[in-house]
Homo-oligomer: A and B are copies of this chain.
Amino acid sequence: MLESEAVVPCCPPLTERTLTAAEAERTAAMFKALSDPVRLRLFSAVASAPGGEACVCDISDVGVSQPTVSHHLKKLKEAGLLASERRGTWVYYRVEPSVLAGMGRLLTGAAPA
């Protein structure tokens, strides 16, 4: 059972109209989660992991400690970009594809292929 619900990005393409304050708050939080270089590398490590998921135990090549990895993965989950599932000792993370597609659409104005 996934612990986080899928978060569907709220907003129209940025080229359509000025976002409302509420839309901008929500969307900016997702961009903020990806605005730290280490967090972005960890996100790409999860997104590109075999089977589309990874635990802290799988990620050792980004040059930061396991507690730091855990911290960043939690932040990404709080922003709705990752879902998590506990199995035994480890929490496994996977990317929310609908969220990425929604953020992509926001930027390009196009439906994802």
Contact = CB atoms under 8 A, between A and B. Distances in A.
Task: Please give the count of copies of this chain that the complex contains.
Answer: 2
A37 interface: yes
A77 to B, nearest CB: 16
Question: Interface extent on A, as a size class?
Answer: 35 or more
Contact of A40 (B28, B104, B113): B28
Contacts of A40: 14, 19, 24, 27-28, 31
Interface string A29-57: 10110111111110111011000000000
Nearest to A107: B104
A35 B31 CA distance: 5
A18 B50 CA distance: 12
A95 B37 contact: no
A80 B44 CA distance: 22
Contacts of A47: 14-15
Nearest to A26: B37
Interface of A: 14-21, 24-25, 27-29, 31-32, 34-41, 43-45, 47-48, 61-63, 95, 100-101, 103-105, 107-108, 110-113
